[in-house]
A and B are shown apart, each in its own frame.
Chain A
Amino acid sequence: MIKMPAFRDLYDLVKKMMEEEEKEFKKMEEEIEKEFNEPLYTYYETDKEIYYIVDVPHLESQSLYIKMENNKLELSCKDKYGKCYHLELPVNNVEKYDVDVVRNKGFIKIILKKKSA
């Protein structure tokens, strides 16, 4: 959608339109990529902890990499067919985290300990 309605030069108008289209395509591409590479996950929390259950069927547990920085938990891993997964989760007020891989089931359980008030 073009935000400026008038241009003095036709070239500027076309250039602007193409830039807008490119932005839209880029956005679509990012969304599609995210959908294909992001694993399914669910979460729940208690007074002291937040639990994330991440579903990676046929997980290659040695490929699991998790880091937490800048209020963000980043997870990447592969399944046994070589498909890569990537997930970023926002984490606020978290002291530390613990990871548990449920073997033979393809689940990763991430336990985030909340900061005590």
Chain B
Amino acid sequence: MSKLSFEIRESYIPQLTKPSYMIIGLPDAGLVGEIATEFLIEKGGFKEYGEVFSKKYIPPVMHVTNGVAKSPLRVYHNVNTIILHAWTALPASSAYPLAEFIVDYAKKYGIDTIISITGVPIPNRLDIEKPTAYWIASEEGLSEELSNTNLMQKFDDGYIAGPYAPILLEASRKNVRNFVVVVESFLDIPDPEASAVALDIISKYIGFSIDVSSLLKEAEEIRAKIKGLMEQTKKELPSYSSVRPMSYA
């Protein structure tokens, strides 16, 4: 049944060079992943090539862009990376079937690593100038590799919930590498600064350059623009508080 939960319509098949990556941007804590992938799509030269459909799991909302109504869940690519980006909040019930769809799709394209981006809500976020980033890996080998990169810290012990948790589980089950970049953030307020930290790390990991200074300069503009999505996310996913360290779980 879950195989039919999501369908994709691609206008062409992108040819990716190796190593290849898939970055996931779904709305959850602080919209950290969402803001990051939207910024990458706009500024990183990514091309849209497909739309994902689901009568069961995507709300009856179309994203209108340049006068054309499209599915709010779409795929983009550049030379070696696919981005899956949601332009609307998805119901919590979609988490498992979407994770299965994502990992199967990554396998179909021979993706080497799936990268997810999320926020870890911290109480004193406003007092922190540069949020700290952590990683959570789906497997031991990737964990060792990430330790050696020194790009972020290991998220030692705690819990991850929300849309990225079942992707980790499914990736582990199907032997696809997946790690989550977890950045300190607000929970209920969009956090472009946290997204900038995540993008800086991902650009170094994959090996491309992107200037994230405009994310910081336009932070207020972005927060104003994305307020509605934050409200929608809070309603759709009441249990979306994504990552909790053991210390205050």
8 Å CB contact of B224 from A35, A42, A51, A58: A58
* Neighbouring B residues of A107 by C-beta, 8 Å: 126
At the interface with chain A, which of B53-61, B96-104, B181-189, B196-204? B181-189
Contact call B221/A53, Cβ cutoff below 8 A: no
Most A CB contacts (10 A, CB to CB) among B125, B189, B220, B230 go to B220
Which of B186, B219, B227 contacts A53, CB < 8 Å?
Answer: B186
| B207 contacts chain A at the CB level, 8 A cutoff | no
Contacts of A41 in B (CB 8 A): 188-189
A109 to B221, CA, bound (A): 19
Using Cβ atoms and an 8 Å threshold, which residues of chain A touch B231?
35, 40
In Å, the complex CA distance between A55 and B224 comes to: 9
Interface string of A96-117 (1 = CB under 8 A from B): 0000001001110100000000
Interface size for A (C-beta < 8 A) is 16
A42 pairs with B189, CB closer than 8 A: yes
Q: Which of B125, B219, B221, B227 contacts A40 (CB 8 A)?
A: B227
User: Please, what's the 1-or-0 string for A32-55, where 1 marks a CB less than 8 Å from any CB in chain B?
Assistant: 000100001110100000010101
Q: Is A53 within 8 A of B189, CB to CB?
A: yes
State the interface size on chain B (CB cutoff 8 A): 18
Measured CB to CB, the residues of B under 8 A from A are 121, 123-126, 186-190, 219-221, 223-224, 227, 230-231
Q: Which residues from chain A sit less than 8 Å from chain B, CB to CB?
A: 35, 40-42, 44, 51, 53, 55, 57-58, 79, 102, 105-107, 109
Cβ–Cβ contact A57 & B189, under 8 A: no
Please determine whether B186 and A42 come into contact, CB atoms closer than 8 angstroms: yes
Check B223–A106 contact: CB distance below 8 A: yes
